[in-house]
Structure 1
Amino acid sequence: MRWVKRDLDGVRNPNRPLGSGRHLRVVAIRGADAGYGSGMDRREAIERVRAAFVWRGDRGDDSSYADVTGWWRDPVLLGALGPLIAGLFEDEPPTVVLGIESRGCLLGPLVAVAFGAGFVEVRKNPSPLADSDAWVRRDTPPDYRDRQLTLGFPRRLVRPADRVLLVDDWIDTGGQAMGARQLVLDVEATWVGVAVIVDALEGNEVRRRLGVRSLLRDRQLS
C-alpha cells in the first residue's frame, strides 16, 4: 500500500509533511503488490474476476450475453474491485470519477473511494429536475446496442480544475465513453482516461484516443 499526500482541492502535494493541518488528506492507493482482501494479491484478484464471469448462451450468437453478476455477489471480490481498478491509474490519480448509469454507478463510487476522489453520475437521456442547475449534455456515437444516447450531468459538479476518470465494467464500441469524454472537455476539465474491467474494443484507435486501461481483454474470458 502506498500513501499519497494531497491537498483538499485534490492536487497531489508530495512536499507537505503529513499532519500539517486540516487542508491535507491522506489517501491509500493500493499498488500492484498490495492485498485485495483475504490476502489476495493483484494477480489472484484478477483470476477471481475471471472465475466469477460466465458467458450465457453460445458466444457470438445474438442471444448470448456476458453475465457479470458474479462480480457483485462475491463480497470479497466486490471489496477488491475499487482498489483493483484504481490501480490501473495509480500514476494519474483523478479528482473526480465519472460513472455512466447503470453499472458505472456501481463501480465508480468504489474506485472513487480508493482514490479519495469525488463521484459524479452520468445520466442517460437526462431530464433535469425543475431547479436552477445548468446541465451539460452530449449525444453519443452508436454504442454496443447501436443506440445513440444523450449523456449529461449538472455542470456545477465538474470544474475546470478537475482531473476526470471514467469507470465502467465493460467497453465495447467506446460510443458512450466518447460522449462522456466530450462532456468533460465541454466543461474544460482534464480527461484522464477510462478504467474498465473488460476491454472488448476491436481496434487501437479508440483505445488510444480515450486512454483505456483494463484488467482483462474479452478474449481472456472463457
Structure 2
Amino acid sequence: MPVQIDESPAAYIKSQIRTVPDWPAPGVQFRDITPLLKNPRTLRVLIDVFVHRYMAQRPDYIAGLDARGFILGSILAYELNIGFIPIRKKGKLPYQTVAEEYELEYGSATVEIHADACGPGDRVLLIDDLVATGGTMLAGKKLLERLGATVIEGAAIVDLPELGGSKLIRDAGLDLFLLCSFEGH
C-alpha cells in the first residue's frame, strides 16, 4: 500500500529540513538538507517534485553546483535520462576549464566548468540545494552562457530571501524554482 503524504510535497520537504543554530558562526541558522537525503521516502518526494517540473521542459543537461547540487543534479539527470554537468570549486576539474569569480559575504570564490561541458543551443537547468546571496548560482549561469548554453531556469530546495539572492538572480533574468523558504539566516 503506498504511503500518502497529508501535506503538499513542498511543506513535507520543508518539515524535514533540520535547522542547526549558530553554525558555522554565531547567529547563523544553518538549513541542513542531509535529513532529506537520508530518508528514502523524503528523497523520492524531493526528486519527484523536480522530475515532474522538468519532464516536459526537457533540458539537454542538468548543471549542479558544488557540492550538494551534485547530489540533486545527478539524480535528476538520471531520472530525466539526460547528461549532468558539474560546476566545481576552483582547481577540482582535471581538463581545460573556464572560471568565474564571484563575491561572498566575506571575500570571493571561484567556480569552474570544463570548457567542453556544453555548447551553443544547449538548454541547461542549473541546480543547487539553497539560494542565499545568489553569487554561486549567478556565477554558474555566467559560465554556462559563456559556453553558449541557454540556462532555462535555476532551481533549489531552499531560499533564504532575507539575504537577497533570489531577488538578485531574478533581476539578472534567470527564472527560479524554489521549493521552500526560511526567514532568518
Give the shorter-chain TM-score range: 0.7 to 0.9
Q: Which amino acid aligns with 1:149?
A: A
Work out whether 1:73 is the aligned partner of 2:38. yes
Instruction: Confirm or deny: 8 A CA contact 2:59 2:123 kept in the other structure.
Output: yes
Residues 198 and 88 of structure 1: CA distance in aligned 2, closer, same or farther (over 3 Å): farther
Q: Percent identity?
A: 24
Work out whether 1:190 is the aligned partner of 2:153. no
Equivalent residue runs for 1:1-222 within 5 Å: 38-40=2-4, 44-57=8-21, 61-90=26-55, 92-129=57-94, 133-140=95-102, 142-143=103-104, 145-202=105-162, 203=164, 204-208=167-171, 209-219=173-183
Instruction: Confirm or deny: 8 A CA contact 1:85 1:196 kept in the other structure.
Output: no
Residues 39 and 157 of structure 1: CA distance in aligned 2, closer, same or farther (over 3 Å): same
CA distance in 2, matches of 1:58, 1:174: 21
What's the TM-score, normalizing by structure 2?
0.82
Instruction: Confirm or deny: 8 A CA contact 1:155 1:187 kept in the other structure.
Output: yes
Q: What secondary structure, in the 3-state scheme, does the structure 1 residue paired with 2:86 have?
A: strand
Instruction: Confirm or deny: 8 A CA contact 2:123 2:152 kept in the other structure.
Output: yes
**Aligned-pair Cα RMSD in Å:** 2.7
Residues 63 and 195 of structure 1: CA distance in aligned 2, closer, same or farther (over 3 Å): closer
Task: Name the residue aligned to 1:5.
Answer: none
Residues 187 and 39 of structure 1: CA distance in aligned 2, closer, same or farther (over 3 Å): same
Q: Which amino acid aligns with 1:49?
A: I
Unaligned runs of 5+ in 2: none
Q: 1:7-47: CA deviations, max 9, x gaps?
A: xxxxxxxxxxxxxxxxxxxxxxxxxxxxxxx4546954323
Aligned residues: 179
Residues 166 and 153 of structure 1: CA distance in aligned 2, closer, same or farther (over 3 Å): same
Q: 1:55-114: CA deviations, max 9, x gaps?
A: 222699525322222111111111232221233445533111111111011111122123
Deviates more, 1:38-47 or 1:203-212: 38-47
Residues 39 and 93 of structure 1: CA distance in aligned 2, closer, same or farther (over 3 Å): farther
Instruction: Confirm or deny: 8 A CA contact 2:61 2:82 kept in the other structure.
Output: yes
Instruction: Confirm or deny: 8 A CA contact 2:155 2:178 kept in the other structure.
Output: yes
CA distance in 2, matches of 1:45, 1:96: 25
Query: 4+ residue stretches of structure 1 with deviation over 6 A?
Result: none
Q: What secondary structure, in the 3-state scheme, does the structure 1 residue paired with 2:129 have?
A: strand
CA distance in 1, matches of 2:158, 2:56: 20
Report how far residue 184 of structure 1 moved.
0.8
Q: Which amino acid aligns with 1:119?
A: F
Unaligned runs of 5+ in 1: 1-37
